[in-house]
C-alpha cells in the first residue's frame, strides 16, 4: 500500500541509526545483523499510520514503533533457537551464524533495548504504553509455548489453534495499532476497535499463511511450498482435515499413514496430503475461515470514528495482506 | 543482619503469592520452581531497607523489590543455560529439569513479568525507575557477555575483570538500593551515594566470592572448594597470580602447566595452584583489594545524609557480607 512507503523508509532509516555499534561487539553485532535482514516492517508502519489516522503527530510514535520492531525481532531470534531454524529471510539465523549462547544473550539485550525505546515515548502515555506492551509480550511468550506444546499433543482443537495464533501473532499487530492510537489521544472505544481490527487481521493473516504454505505459487512464495506438510505442522488445514476425515475411516487412515512418512519422501508426502486436502475441500474451508476473520477486522475498522480516507487505507492494507503471495 | 529478617519474610510471602499458577503450565511452572529455590533475597531486602532508611514507606517499594528479585532469577535461568550449569542451590537447573527451550522461554516470560511488577510502583517514579532498571539490565547482559569472552581470551587485565564483575554483579545491587531511595524521594545526591555504596560493595562481594572459592571452609562453603581452579576460571586470584608470576619464569611455567591439567586430576590441580597462590601471597592481595572496595562503599555510605542508626545498619550488613562463608 503506497502511503505506507514513507513510513517504511522512516523506520528503515531510524533502525539503521540506532546506537548499536557498541562493546562488547559479540552482543551488539547480532542485533545489528537481525535488524538489517529487512522484512515488511508491518508493525511499526501500522503504529505510525494509526497515530496519523487518529490525528496524532506520527513522530510522537516513532520510538514506540521502533520498540515494537526491536521486540518483534527479539522474538524471532529466540524462536529460531527453539525451532532450530537454520535460515531467516534466506540468511543464516543468529544461533547458526554465531551460537546459541550469543543468540540467547543478544535476544535478551534486544528485549531490554525495546523497553528503553518505549520509554522515550511522550511522558503522559508511558505507563499505559508499557503496561499494554508488556501484557502483549507475555501473550506472545504464551503463544510460542502453546505452539511448541501442540507439536507434542495428539489432539489440538480448532479453537485452541486459533487462540494460539492469536497470542503468537495477532496480539502484537493489534497492539502496534493501539499504541499508535493511544499516542494520538484516541478515545478508549477507538483504541479498542483498532486493536480488534489488528487482532482479527492477524488471525486472518496467519490462516492465509497456512494456506499459502500449501497452495502458494512456488515462484513467488518465499519459503518451500509444503514445508508445513513435511514437518507435520498442526496448521488449520491439517487440523481441519483430521476433523473432517473422522467420518471417512479410509481417508483418515490414509492421512494418518502419510503423517508417519519420513522426510525422505517429502515430495510424495506433499503431493499426497495436498490431494487429501483437495478431496476434503480444505482450501475453501480455510479461505472461508480466513475471510470470517478478515470481515470481523473490517467491521471493527468500520465502527471506528476514522474518516473515510483512513478507513479505505486500512481496508486496502487488509486486502493487500490477504492477496499477498509471500 | 537482624532487622532485615522482617523484609526477608515479606519478600518470601509476596513471591509465594505472585499469580504464577497459570496456563500454559510449561511456561509458568519453571518460574515458580526457580523462585521457590530460596536464596538470600539480598536485592529486594536492600530495596525495602533503603526506602525505609531514606524515610519512605517501604510498602511503596514492594513491587519494585519483587521486580528486581524476579529479574535476578531470570538472569540466573538464562546464565545457567549459557554456563551449562547442572545445579543451582543444589537443585537441578531449569534447563536440566525441563529443557533449554523451556528455560529460554520461561526466562523471557520472567523478564517481561519483572517489567509488569515494576510498573506497579508509584506513578510519579515509574519513568525514572524503569529507565534505571532497564539501563542496569543492559549492563548485566554486557557483564555476562564479557565474562564469557574472558573464557576465550588469553589476556585479561585486572581493570577489565573489575569492570566485568561491576557490570555482571555489582550494578544490580547498586540499583536495588537506589530504587528504594528514589521511591523514598531521596535527593539525587543521596540516590547516587547509596548507588556507589552498593556498587563498591558488590565488587567487594564478588572478590570475596573468588577468595572463598579457594580458601573457604569446605564444611560451610555451599559450592565445591576449588571449583574456579578446576575450570580455569579467570578470577581475580588467577589473573593476579599470572601477573605476579611474570617476574618468576619458573613459577609462571609451573602455573601455566597446571592450567593445562585436565579435570581428571582435579584434587592435585587445586592443591598445586593453591600452593602457587600461597607462594605469591595472592590471598592477602585479594583481601586487600576486597577491603579497598569495601572501604569505598563505606565512604559513600558515610557521605549520605542517613541517620546514624541506618548508617550502622548498612555498615554491619556490608561487614556481614564480607565475613560470610558461603
Q: How many CB pairs under 8 A join A and B?
A: 106
The B-side interface with A (CB below 8 A) comprises 23-24, 26-27, 78, 81-82, 100-101, 104-105, 107-109, 111-113, 115-116, 119, 123, 126-127, 130-131, 134-135, 137-138, 141-142, 144-146, 148-149
Give me the count of residues in chain B.
326
Largest CA distance in chain B: 63
Largest CA distance in chain A: 63
Portion of chain A with pLDDT greater than 90, in percent: 89
Which residues 6+ apart lie within 8 Å of A256 measured at CB? none
Pairing of strands A87-88, A91-92: antiparallel
Q: Is A157 helix (H, G, I), strand (E, B) or coil?
A: coil
Is A81 in Cβ contact with B105 (below 8 Å)?
Answer: no
pLDDT value, residue A301: 98
Mean pLDDT of B230-245: 95
Is B145 in Cβ contact with A105 (below 8 Å)?
Answer: yes
Q: Look at residue A1 and tell me whether its pLDDT is greater than 80.
A: no
Mean pLDDT of A170-177: 98
Mean pLDDT of B170-188: 98
Arithmetic mean of pLDDT over chain B: 95
Is A105 in Cβ contact with B127 (below 8 Å)?
Answer: no
User: Of A138, A326, A318, A294, which is closest to residue A223 (Cα–Cα)?
Assistant: A326
Q: Look at residue A225 and tell me whether its pLDDT is greater than 80.
A: no
How would DSSP label each residue in B222-248? Answer: SS-TTHHHHTT---HHHHHHHHHHTT-
Q: What ipTM describes this predicted complex?
A: 0.95
Mean pLDDT of B281-304: 97
User: Of A186, A176, A227, which is closest to residue A49 (Cα–Cα)?
Assistant: A176
Q: Look at residue B323 and tell me whether its pLDDT is greater than 80.
A: yes
Positive or negative: CA dihedral B177, B182, B187, B192: positive
Choice among A127-131, A246-250, B64-68 with the minimum mean pLDDT: A246-250
In chain A, what residues touch B100 (CB-CB under 8 Å)? 100
pLDDT band at A196 (very low <50, low <70, confident <90, very high): very high
Cell numbers placing A142 = 504464551
Is B134 in Cβ contact with A119 (below 8 Å)?
Answer: yes
* pTM metric for this prediction: 0.95
CA distance A169 to A163: 10
Portion of chain B with pLDDT greater than 70, in percent: 97
- Nearest CB among A27, A131, A145 relative to B27 is that of A145
Which residues 6+ apart lie within 8 Å of A90 measured at CB? A222
B101, closest residue in chain A (CA to CA) = A82
CA distance A99 to A93: 9
Is A100 in Cβ contact with B142 (below 8 Å)?
Answer: no
Cell numbers placing A294 = 478478515
Arithmetic mean of pLDDT over chain A: 95
Residue B169 DSSP symbol: I
pLDDT value, residue B224: 67
Q: Look at residue A2 and tell me whether its pLDDT is greater than 70.
A: no
Q: Look at residue B325 and tell me whether its pLDDT is greater than 70.
A: no
pLDDT value, residue A252: 94
Q: Look at residue A36 and tell me whether its pLDDT is greater than 80.
A: yes
Q: pLDDT per residue over A277-296, tens digit each? A: 999 999 999 999 999 999 99
Amino acid at each position: 500500500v503506497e502511503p505506507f512507503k514513507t513510513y517504511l523508509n522512516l523506520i528503515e532509516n531510524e533502525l539503521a541509526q540506532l546506537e548499536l555499534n557498541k562493546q562488547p561487539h559479540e552482543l551488539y553485532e547480532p542485533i545489528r545483523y537481525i535488524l538489517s535482514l529487512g522484512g515488511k516492517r508491518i508493525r511499526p508502519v501500522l503504529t505510525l499510520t494509526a497515530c496519523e489516522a487518529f490525528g496524532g503527530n506520527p513522530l510522537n510514535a516513532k520510538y514506540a514503533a521502533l520498540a515494537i520492531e526491536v521486540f518483534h525481532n527479539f522474538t524471532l531470534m529466540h524462536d529460531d533457537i527453539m525451532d532450530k531454524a537454520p535460515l531467516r529471510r534466506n540468511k543464516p539465523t543468529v544461533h547458526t551464524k554465531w551460537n546459541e549462547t550469543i543468540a540467547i544473550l543478544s535476544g535478551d539485550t534486544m528485549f531490554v533495548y525495546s523497553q528503553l525505546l518505549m520509554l522515550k515515548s511522550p511522558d503522559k502515555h508511558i505507563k499505559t504504553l508499557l503496561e499494554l506492551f508488556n501484557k502483549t509480550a507475555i501473550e506472545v511468550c504464551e503463544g510460542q509455548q502453546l505452539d511448541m506444546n501442540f507439536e507434542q499433543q495428539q489432539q489440538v482443537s480448532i479453537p485452541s489453534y486459533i487462540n494460539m495464533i492469536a497470542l503468537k501473532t495477532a496480539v502484537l499487530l493489534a497492539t502496534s495499532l493501539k499504541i499508535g492510537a493511544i499516542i494520538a489521544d484516541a478515545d478508549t472505544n477507538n483504541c479498542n476497535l483498532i486493536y480488534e481490527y489488528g487482532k482479527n487481521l492477524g488471525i486472518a493473516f496467519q490462516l492465509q499463511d497456512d494456506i499459502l504454505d500449501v497452495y502458494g505459487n512456488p515462484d513467488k512464495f518465499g519459503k518451500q511450498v509444503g514445508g508445513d506438510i513435511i514437518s507435520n505442522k498442526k496448521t488449520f488445514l491439517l487440523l481441519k482435515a483430521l476433523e473432517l476425515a473422522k467420518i471417512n475411516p479410509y481417508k483418515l487412515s490414509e492421512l494418518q499413514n502419510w503423517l508417519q512418512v519420513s522426510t525422505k519422501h517429502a515430495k510424495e508426502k506433499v503431493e499426497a496430503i495436498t490431494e487429501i486436502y483437495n478431496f476434503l475441500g480444505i482450501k475453501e474451508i480455510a479461505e472461508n475461515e480466513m475471510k470470517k476473520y478478515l470481515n470481523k477486522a473490517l467491521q471493527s475498522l468500520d465502527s471506528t470514528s476514522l474518516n473515510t480516507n483512513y478507513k479505505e487505507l486500512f481496508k486496502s492494507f487488509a486486502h493487500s495482506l490477504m492477496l499477498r503471495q509471500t
